[in-house]
Structure 1
Amino acid sequence: MSLSLFTEFQPLAAIATTPSAAETLYPLCQTIGATLHLPDSLTPFNNSQTYTISLKEHLATLWKTQRTLIFCLATGAVVRLIAPLLEDKSTDPAIIVIDQTGKWVISLCSGHTGGADRLAELIATELDATPIITGASANLGLPAIDILGLPFGWRKGEGDWTQVSAAIARQEKVQVIQEVGSTLWQDHLPENHPFYFGFPEADQAIIPAARIWISATKRQFAEKSDFPRVQWHPRVLWVGIGCIRGTSRQLIETAIEQVFQRYHLATAAIAGLATIDLKADETGLLEYCIEKQLPLKTFAAEVLGGIEVPNPSEIVSQEVGTKSVAEASALSAVSPQKAALIVPKQIIKSEQEMGAVTIAIAQSDLEYTGKIGQLWLVGIGPGKLDQMTPAAMTAIKQADVIIGYSLYLELIKPLQRKGQIVESFPITQEQKRAQRAIELAQWGLTVAVISSGDCGIYGMAGLVLEELQQAGWDGHNPKLEVFAGISAIQAAASRVGAPLMHDFCTISLSDLLTPWQVIEKRLEAAAKADFVTGIYNPRSQTRTGQIIKAQEIFLKFRNPNTPVAIVHSAYREQEQITLTTLEKMLDFPIDMLTTVIIGNCSTRQYANWLITPRGYIS
């Protein structure tokens, strides 16, 4: 399994105190990239760490350095060990407990913010165990409100998160006022969700039990309020900035804070800073961006000079070659064709130090996530969950977004996680699927694009890579990973024995993307070369003649009694298996969900199984 699936939970420590617990945890640690910690009384494993002090003392050393702790201990013992160390659920590590047989995986602490709930599900998938998630939002099929905006890079503001979460758990009416940021999360709520959006009509008597603001504005909540409120701040504000050379980080920070307070904006909603390229090495700006973990965009004077702004300055033009730095930079960072300034330039000076800072703010339609997106190309196998690889199942559960054909999405529905974005496209819109996946990954989301069988065999992997190439992808952003699946030819072969034991090939009869003349040439070459041949897409409702022509071609080079397997919907409820011959193969139903395997000259049928000898027995 790829360690990239567990990156967000690192660094990760696993703790075992008995030989059986160590044996349960060791292979898991190799899979998820955890370090196994053992007392010196146990025989160490490769790459495990041994502690000589008490577990209580050792745990105290791990608490501040590890993002996740996995225990293979009794739950009561874990509770007593961690109780003195617990401080705040927003900073405590995620705590997972696994029983010694590996049958149960419990999310004990930091289920939402720490990610213990999600990690418990992922580990349970790897161990073929049962996850124990006790949070109310998970059981109601709702996204946890205190992690709702994390996939989109939103930042939490002030509010009573505990009481708002409690109102949601009680399924009371919760008002959501979303002024900025992605609304994708709204499109994938269960039907019985407790949210209503915006303000009620005059004739509606809706009294909310709680309110969620999703805004770039910083709202002041009264200490004594009728109901609890919380704030999420999508990062949509780009701060255009100009300053005199040598301006300190402190003055820059003071200027930004003053302007944001004046206009009641949340600094948590800052996406980044923008300025002229002459300021790319300005120490104060760089120090501020590093401290606040913000990107700094710079633009040439020629670019800024082409932007229309409300407050141009001839003095600035004489100094740097453009009539605007702050306003033009803010607009350029957002996209000048779509943006408008929400704060025109403000000049801030300080009596304590020399210099001045000019601030302007533009608001983007699309929030800045601050993340490098990931494209996971996932093969889901023939369609039954137990035929999927653990890595593929984990990738689907871990992804922010799943994109695929509706039939395949239905097959993996039990793997879908609460709050996941799931987008379905018709069978003929493969290119749109690929483009949408790339768009979301470039934005910073983790996107799983699913294909039946193996994604690299007549699946989506090649198309996604082609689209990336056309877009000038740098090979790094977004990151890309391919998760193999059992292909249709492998699944069909497994249901009829061992027909692929010698050289074989696969050919698709669909001429939507490949000219029939090319397909016909390949059929003839395969038949003449005596390859065992797997036929994909043999017949559709409108394309019926190709399988007839394929049979004719093979009959020119193969014995009419050559064994043929016709496998419909392998491993699915509608599975049908027929063993016949090349001469009689068209007497049986064949459609788009069918894989046809034509044997070679040595393939034989025995006891309702097909065998293609490799030559071990002469």
Structure 2
Amino acid sequence: MKPAILTFAASGTETANRIAALTGGTVHVGDKALVPRLFAAGTPIIGVCAAGILIRLLAEHLGDKHNESPVIAVSQDGAQVVPLLGGHHGANRLARRIADGLGGTAALTTASDSRFAHGLDEPPAGYVLANPADAKPAMAALLAGEDIALTGIAPWLAEAGYPLAKDGSVKITVTERTDGTGLIVHPTTLIAGIGCERGTEAAEIIDLLAATLARYDLSPLSLAAIGTIDLKADEAGLHAVAAHFGVPLRVFTASQLDEERGRLVNPSAIVEAEIGTPGVSEAAALKAGELLVSKHKSRRATCAIGRAAAPIDPETFGRAPGQLHIVGIGPGEAISRTASAVAALDVATDWVGYGLYLDLIADLQSGQQEHRFPLGDEEPRVRHALELAATGKTVALVCSGDAQIYAMAALVYELLDATGTRAVSDAARRVGVESHPGISALQAASATAGALIGHDFCAISLSDLLTPREDIIKRLHAAAEGDFVTAFYNPRSLRRTDLIEQAKAIYLGHRPPETPVVIGTSVGRPEENVRVTTLAAFDPTEIDMLTIVLFGASTSRAFKRGDGKTVAFTPRGYAKKVAS
């Protein structure tokens, strides 16, 4: 997880930005209330501030040290980097990295890390402890002068400064098997190659892999990834088995798997006739290096295990299935973004969107590749996002407001369903898609002005670029007659000026002149202007494409509060409920 870098003084901003460049983290300025929330979410925290500030902010939130996320204090000049919490959960390693990058000193206070490059309970990437509770007594013995008797291969122990001897009293076994002795370290050198019929239940695949590992005394902790053919990139059961074992799903093309045909133990003519290569599970497993366990079958799935000579980095093994996040960033201001949207933007490798929308989230930029499109290029923008995700990237398709409301979410699914010349590639059809709702302009404007959408409401776009004018007018009459509070998107442009005027005339035929109208311009941005008027006084000529207009229902009301602000709301009928 990328860290959050916080500073509470302008003088710390330069160092905070340098740390962000080193770590890929996001800088936050002046918000002390954010610290406990970040800590509770498990986000690593780097404070360019006095250590005491972080201690006081987190004191009442401290609990089990085994679940602490890293917390680091850095002096404003970057000379001192002090891990405060989570030393053995990445803080010490991160502190060393920051100190090296800033030319400062990492002040490590944990005994193991002050003597060795890292503690035994925090092995480097590619290694996992099977029995972490045994790390502490082993570490204590080493600090007392004992040596390590190592079985297996772990060059990082010597590199970290640990003493090794054949007759050492501290036993450490590095193995993929479950029958080691002493402190057992599992290298992530195994790949589970899996093939399955379309729609195979996740439980069947999980049981098959678990039984295969158990039969050969192999630890699930040594799994680096699940490998399969790219035709199965959207297979729910394979995603479930990867999640169950806590490893990524990685895919290969048929031609890539076919490179292993000469090494297959159990080639299948049936499989070759179906997909163009004689095996999936064994071929995917062989991509690790050697075939450790040949193909095993269940009713609808196959499984094989491959082993590499060294731990596997899943990022360089095959490719990811690809993921598209459809992200609604709200009306513009950072405070209106949902946590889900921010998390999706953070995890993405690439951002795709209209340039203005990408500018609105520039404060979250942490190295993502931006793909900017002009206004009006909606279909090329969505198509690009889908095809980019199909290459294995994690893509955020950025929309203002809520992506479901006059934005790109529907177009994503339209293209996924399209045939003929509008069809996307087969690989793009298989990418994962997840939507992250945002605060819509109609919500933001109504909230700023009171609660005009407190009862039944609808939204109508007055743009006739994609919708025939006669359909728009028909909907105006229906909404006016139905007495809905109505939000008008795209109310007026330089070319199209009359539809908002017709809307006013139609609605005046169905509700009183004093009906409240909310006008919101540049909602959620520094130049925001939200005001309340009446339907009779509403002037369509002051409206532009940066404005949203909400007409109230016949029951909507407006009144002036003590501060002089006029607010509008639509009662839902609670007065009748109380009276009864």
- Name the TM-score, length of structure 1 as normaliser: 0.47
- Name the TM-score, length of structure 2 as normaliser: 0.50
